[in-house]
Structure 1
Amino acid sequence: MPVPPSPARSLGAIAGIVAAATLLSKVFGLVRQQAIAAAFGTGVAFDAFNYAYVVPGFLLILLGGINGPFHSAIVSVLSKQNQKDAAPLVETITTVVGLLLLGLTALIILFANPLISLVAPGLGTTAAGAVTHAIAVQQLQIMAPMALLAGFIGIGFGTLSAADHYWLPSISPLFSSVTVLLGLGGLWMALGQDLLSPEYAAVGGMVLAGSTLVGAVLQWLVQLPPQMKAGYGGFRFRLDWNRPGVREVFKIMAPATFSSGTLQINVYTDLFFASYIPQAAAALGYAGLLAMTPLGILSNVILVPLMPVFSRLAAPENWGDLKQRIRQGLLLSASAMLPTGALIMALNRPIVRLVYERGAFHSESSEIVASLLLAYGLGLFVYLGRDVIVRVFYALGDGTTPFYVSLFNILLNGVLDYVCVKHFGAPGLVFATVGVNLFTLCWLTGILHRRLGGLPLLEWGWAIAGLSGSSAVGAGLAAVLWTGISGSLASDSLGAQILALTVAGAGGLAAFTALALRLRIPEVQLFLSQITRKLKR
């Protein structure tokens, strides 16, 4: 019989566990980024780190992330496997993936210099860029083992999710934040204010890279005990290619990995253009974290519980229920991300000032980061909506279609980057990404519409349009409230900034909620009622 979840939980219970764990992890991630901003600002050390992190960091996201291809493939196959086959299956997959990624780790170390040149060719055009390049090469060599760890972490996430363990996968990224904070704390104790000096950029960069690697090691190690306890094996060499389920995992995993990998190629394309714009890579990192924090929390809350449900409804006789779950995923994504994105756009400048503006992060840094944050806010819903639709294809056992769409998107992203950067500068990098995600969402939804015998797209579209209008009204009110309150306050202190943002944000969300409830969309009413109930507690 298939591996049973221990004990069965409702989608709401799973979402609550994932939300709490992810929120805690994201809070630590934000504190980590604040510490980096105070220590390095948009200077050389963090600018170099963003280029060095491209390969190991994207592998960690690509292979080791929750809802990534490894996680999705493992959950999809283990939910259909017998209990006695689980451990040998997982150990075989771990062995094969480990051998492949060990070779990739060695290649990254050997070819770190040309890799940085490939990622950021613009660094070679100035003397300051050459310094950034040299630091980035050292950082990449330090973080190269994260390529190997990424595979192990992704497999661990999949096995734990299949065993109905959601807390640890959602909270484990916290370890990386903690190790970086400890590393920066030790560096500050050793150097004090000298840490802000340019001559210590290389030292700071090495500590940043090393502490990031240690965090990835811990993220993997904490998974092993519960994985073994759940009966999914441990860190054991095993090659049993003919075991049932092994080829099915790789059948889903391989195209899904390539498909997700093309998204990372798009990020590389963004950094290629960013390398010709001073401070753009660092600014992308800071703005990206602010946008991805709410996105990451709500993405896990929505996608983690829905992925096993999609898989169980993949048979044609269940497609009626599957369509309802797709609707649920899209409208929950819209009700969460449309108002969030609109508020980020309306309050981008005060948000950046409140979170980052201290230490080495000054007002000029705030300006460029705020402009990028505005662009990110525009695309939060299409980012999550695209992920919902992609997961449906994975649940249907089809990783090939998203892969082919993603291949085309590489060309599209390059063209949009060139056009948008030319007209908008650094924010154009994010506008291009939003355009690619919107195109992917529309194309894949159209394919799914034909494959499942029709989806009520017009009905869904009107609901999303209504939520978009409600979000715009809420954002407009938030902007008016912030302008009025901040202008009337005599002080520009941290407390005054928090007060103005809190009132403006709360007013904007209240306006959105009042208008959204009048739309009488069941998913929105459920989503808002659950939030209200939790806040009352």
Structure 2
Amino acid sequence: MKSTAKSIGIVMIITVFSRLLSLVSSMVYITYYGISLEMDIYSYAIQLPNIIFTSLGSALAYIVIPIFAGYIGTDQKDRAFKFADNVITISSLFTLILSITGIIVAPAILALTRFRDQGYDFALISVRIMFPVMIFYGLSFIFQGMLQSFGNYNMPALISVPSSLTVILYVYIFGSRFGIKGLLVATFIGLMFQALILVPSIWRAGYRYKPSVQFGNKDVKEALRLAPAVVVSASAYQLNMLFNTTLSANFKDTVSIMTTVQNLVLYAILAFVYSVTSVVFPKLTMMAARNDMEGFKNNLLNVINLIIYFLVPATAGFIAVSRQLFDLLYGWGRVTAGNVSLAGSFLALYALGITGIGIKEVIDRAFYSLKDTKKPAINGVIIMTVNVIASLTLIKLADFFGLPKAFGIPAGYSVSAITGAIVLIRMIKKKIGNFGGKEVTLTYIKIVAASVIMFIAIIPISHMVNSYATGSTVLHKGIRLMVPTVVGALVYFTATYFLKVQQVTNIISGIKGWAKKALINKKN
């Protein structure tokens, strides 16, 4: 468990750096260009292929890792490489066809948005430019799965760095000359490099690609058998995001804000979750292959408790300081106070569902490691159905109470996320039996109690700080965000310590061990 924790820690640090750079890149272009019709079109154009293929790409990773890692773990490298040859070739052909199809049907897609009447020509060009990036998304997900199977978790965690740097450099060097049209091209180039930077690591692992299309291959057949169910399951939240993005495209100046908040909250949370699951998933797969169900249950229990420990207080924290957070990151340049206020509300509503998302992602991996793709697929359909019904219902409800209709979109997403987590917990219990359900429940109650205490402490502190730090400089905005955040973190940590939550005990033990080791090294 220590080696697993160490691997997770390293990957988490790299992932945080990578995500922070992504955050900086979005801050740079949004504050530079502001919220406008063109920015809404850009946001929609980059989200569309991203969401579509992230669903398929995630499924690719879930399929590749169990089969590829299984052969690597049993010293059948040649068979693993042969499987990779087929997957890469078939995936590339499929994404090429998908890209061409997307380019052809782009007008029909835009007919579902307000862009059919406003900025249509630019929207059509933008969507068509971005669709081919799916080819590189496919390669990126496959390469990540292969490297994780080899025990290389660091490079996959760095994949978003090239695209972030490309966008930042473009804005500062060419931003005023080529505008948002040039930003589209820069984004495409950056996303292309997400796959290409993994090639040297794949090469060093000994893999040499040989084009191959063998639908009759046993492993390819197995992958194709698993694919439909895995795609449905992996698509749940991504297709919900696509639905939400398309829905928000019908409200003025909402797409850019909605996608920015989605990236800020959901991708940040998923970055944390994926840094955990990227290490744990191959381990669960190998335990399942060895029929070590006791180890499987213990690992699953530890990961779920870890997810709950960090994401429940994150929910409370996001709600408490949502506007301060968005104001510090994006409240500059051409972004207005109204934009910040709307974004803060979106952020708080999305935050309600993040624990559900985390639990769902972990339990999905548990099912995949057991080669059970049916139950996550069923849950995926439930999540998508609940999201559509909840979003449309809550849009009407928000309008009835005189609130912005768009509030119903993130609220519906959170309802579907919580529903999906509850359903999956019941499913996994039926699949593997009890795995410390009482312990999870007790841990959850303690963590919720500590989070409530934290929230109660943050609110008055936040009001007090806001009344004193009233300026609009980076320092003032930073104080308004950081003081309540630091106080909240300390209160939460202290509360969980006195409530004897196991995770905080593990953290303290880890810090003590690190400090002791550092002192010994210093003396030597």
Q: What is residue 121 of structure 2 aligned with on the other side?
A: 134
Is the CA contact 1:15–1:302 (under 8 Å) kept in the aligned structure 2? Answer: yes
Q: CA deviation at 1:498?
A: 1.3
Paired residues for 1:83-482 under 5 Å: 83-118=77-112, 120=113, 122-124=114-116, 129-131=117-119, 133-190=120-177, 204-234=179-209, 236-314=210-288, 317-424=291-398, 425-482=405-462
Number of matched residues? 507
Instruction: Please list the CA deviations of residues 319-363 of structure 1 after superposition, one character each: whole Å capped at 9, or x if unmatched.
Output: 222222221111101111111221111011111111111111111
Q: CA deviation at 1:149?
A: 1.3
Q: What is residue 50 of structure 2 aligned with on the other side?
A: 57
Unaligned runs of 5+ in 2: 399-404, 519-524
- Quick one: which amino acid aligns to residue 76 of structure 1? P
Instruction: State whether structure 2 residue 64 is matched by structure 1 residue 74.
Output: yes
- Quick one: which amino acid aligns to residue 247 of structure 1? K
Is the CA contact 1:51–1:116 (under 8 Å) kept in the aligned structure 2? Answer: no
Instruction: Please list the CA deviations of residues 45-75 of structure 1 after superposition, one character each: whole Å capped at 9, or x if unmatched.
Output: 22112322343111442244xxx22222222
Q: Quick one: which of 25, 28, 46 aligns to 1:32?
A: 25
Change (3 A) 1:93 1:189: same
Aligned structure 1 segments of 4 or more residues deviating by more than 4 angstroms = 527-537
Instruction: Please list the CA deviations of residues 141-184 of structure 1 after superposition, one character each: whole Å capped at 9, or x if unmatched.
Output: 11111121111111100111111111111001111111112222
Q: CA deviation at 1:311?
A: 0.8
The whole-number CA distance in structure 2 between the counterparts of 1:59 and 1:526 is 39
Is the CA contact 1:331–1:524 (under 8 Å) kept in the aligned structure 2? Answer: no
Change (3 A) 1:414 1:9: same
Is the CA contact 2:62–2:368 (under 8 Å) kept in the aligned structure 1? Answer: yes
Instruction: State whether structure 2 residue 15 is matched by structure 1 residue 22.
Output: yes
- Quick one: which amino acid aligns to residue 27 of structure 2? Q
The whole-number CA distance in structure 2 between the counterparts of 1:530 and 1:134 is 57
Is the CA contact 2:387–2:413 (under 8 Å) kept in the aligned structure 1? Answer: yes
Q: Percent identity?
A: 19
Q: CA deviation at 1:455?
A: 3.8
Is the CA contact 2:315–2:354 (under 8 Å) kept in the aligned structure 1? Answer: yes
Q: Quick one: which of 482, 498, 502 aligns to 1:518?
A: 498
Change (3 A) 1:76 1:527: farther
Change (3 A) 1:31 1:343: same
The whole-number CA distance in structure 1 between the counterparts of 2:354 and 2:471 is 33
Q: What is residue 44 of structure 1 aligned with on the other side?
A: 37
Change (3 A) 1:532 1:477: farther
**Secondary structure class of the residue paired with 2:490:** helix
Change (3 A) 1:491 1:105: closer
Change (3 A) 1:174 1:529: farther
Change (3 A) 1:270 1:172: same
Q: CA deviation at 1:84?
A: 1.9
Is the CA contact 2:147–2:202 (under 8 Å) kept in the aligned structure 1? Answer: yes
Q: What is residue 4 of structure 1 aligned with on the other side?
A: none
Q: CA deviation at 1:527?
A: 4.2
The whole-number CA distance in structure 2 between the counterparts of 1:396 and 1:304 is 16
- Quick one: which amino acid aligns to residue 161 of structure 2? L
Q: CA deviation at 1:533?
A: 7.4
The whole-number CA distance in structure 2 between the counterparts of 1:134 and 1:319 is 57
Q: CA deviation at 1:514?
A: 0.8
Instruction: Please list the CA deviations of residues 391-442 of structure 1 after superposition, one character each: whole Å capped at 9, or x if unmatched.
Output: 1111110122211222233322111011111223222211111111111111
- Farther off after superposition, 207-216 or 448-457: 448-457
Is the CA contact 2:52–2:242 (under 8 Å) kept in the aligned structure 1? Answer: no
Is the CA contact 1:346–1:476 (under 8 Å) kept in the aligned structure 2? Answer: no
Q: What is residue 401 of structure 2 aligned with on the other side?
A: none
Unaligned runs of 5+ in 1: 1-7, 191-202
Change (3 A) 1:517 1:299: same
Q: CA deviation at 1:495?
A: 0.8
The whole-number CA distance in structure 1 between the counterparts of 2:470 and 2:245 is 41
- Farther off after superposition, 451-460 or 92-101: 451-460
**Secondary structure class of the residue paired with 1:80:** helix
The whole-number CA distance in structure 2 between the counterparts of 1:441 and 1:147 is 29
Superposition RMSD on alpha carbons, in Å?
A: 2.3
The whole-number CA distance in structure 2 between the counterparts of 1:52 and 1:232 is 34
- Quick one: which amino acid aligns to residue 146 of structure 2? T
Q: CA deviation at 1:454?
A: 2.8
Q: What is residue 6 of structure 2 aligned with on the other side?
A: 13
Q: CA deviation at 1:492?
A: 4.1
